[in-house]
Amino acid sequence: MEKHKDGKLVRREKITALAFVSPLIIGFVVFTLICMIVSFAWSFTNFNPISGRMKFDGLERYVELFTHPTYKKAFLDSIVNTLFLLLSTPLCIVISVLIASLMNSKKFKGKTFFRVVIYLPAVTSVVAVNYIWRYMFEENYGLINAFFHANIPWLTDNTLIKVAMIIKNVWGGIGTQVILFMAGMQNISDEYYEAAELDGAGAAYKFFHITLPLVTPVLFYTIITGLIGGFQLYADVELFAGGQYGSRTIVHFIRNYGVGQNLYGLASAASFLLAAVIMLITALQFKFSKWVQYTD
Partner 1 sequence: MEQTIKKTNQVLSAVVLGAMYAVMIVLAFTMIFPYIYMVLTTFKPMQETVQAGMHLFPVHWTAEAYAEVWELVPFGRGILNTMTVEIPVILVGTFTSALGAFAFAKMRLPCSRALLLTLMSSMMVPFAALFLPQYQIWSSLNLTNNLLPLILPGLFGNISMVFFFIQFMGGIPNALLEAAKIDGCGYFKSFVHIMLPLLWPAMAAQGVFWFLGIWNDYFAPSIYLTREDVMTLQPLINRLNATQGGRDFPLVMTGAFLSSIPLIAVYLIFQKYFMSALSITSGIK
Applying the rule CB under 8 A, the residues between 61 and 80 that interact with partner 1 are: none
- Does 26 sit near partner 1 (CB under 8 A)? yes
Please tell me whether residue 288 binds partner 1 under the rule CB under 8 A.
no
| CA atoms 276, 277, 282, 285: torsion sign | positive
Within 10 angstroms of residue 177's Cβ, the number of other Cβ atoms is: 26
* 185 and 211 Cβ atoms separated by less than 8 Å: yes
For residue 245, what are the contacts with CB-CB under 8 A and spacing of at least 6? 77, 158
Binding mask 87-126 for partner 1 (x = CB under 8 A): ------------x--xx-x-xx-x-xxxxxxxxxxxxxxx
**Is the CB of residue 161 less than 8 Å from the CB of residue 246?**
yes
Mark the segment that binds partner 1 (CB under 8 A) among 23-31, 65-73, 78-86, 205-213: 23-31
- CB 194, min distance to partner 1, A: 17
Binding residues among 3-22 for partner 1 as defined by CB under 8 A: 10, 13-14, 16-18, 20-21
Residue 77 CB, nearest approach to partner 1 (Å): 17
CA distance 113 to 131: 25
Residue 161 CB, nearest distance to partner 1 (Å)? 15
Longest dimension (CA), the chain: 90
Q: Name the nearest CA neighbour of 151 among 141, 163, 165, 162.
A: 141
Q: How far is the CB of 8 from partner 1 (least distance, A)?
A: 13
Per-residue contact track with partner 1, 28 to 47, x per CB under 8 A?
x-xxx-xxx-xx--x-----
Site string for partner 1, 134-173 (x = CB under 8 A): -xx---xx-x--xx-----------------------x--
Q: Which residues, in sequence order, are CB contacts of 284 under 8 Å at separation 6+?
A: none
